Amino acid sequence: MSDRDERDPHDDALRRAFSELRRQDAAGAPDFHGVVARTPPVRRPGRARLGQALAAAALAVAFLVGLLARRPRPEPALPSIAAWTAPTDFLLRTPGGELLSGVPRIGSDRPLVTLDGAAGAPDSRERTASP
């Protein structure tokens, strides 16, 4: 591939403009030896290093924050299903409900047997008094 192949007659204006640009640049070109002996631009290492240190510190902090954010947290222990009670259980406890939870006995002011076994068992005196 040659640049000659790529050029077309419409490039003449461009070529002329570039030629003028080249001529101007060449006229303003500095001396070769002057460029070689040119003092390199002075750098300010103190400020540059301070900036680099700040950037490094910011990166380190971001890294630590990222690590902490990614660390898995312990999950709260779930209560056993056997110990679970519905939060609305208290609505089922009505006043005098203990009267309905046992079988009443004649001549006794206390139920002989309760359905949930919470009420007192019959004593011997009550048993003998019964027919």
Which residues sit at the interface with other proteins, rule CB under 8 A?
Answer: 1-3, 6, 10-11, 13-18, 20-22, 24-26, 28-30, 32-33, 35-36, 38, 40-41, 44, 47-48, 51-52, 54-55
CA distance 98 to 118: 9
Pick 59 or 118: Cβ nearer other proteins: 59
Report the nearest approach of other proteins to the CB of residue 65 (Å): 20
Report the nearest approach of other proteins to the CB of residue 61 (Å): 16
CA distance 11 to 18: 10
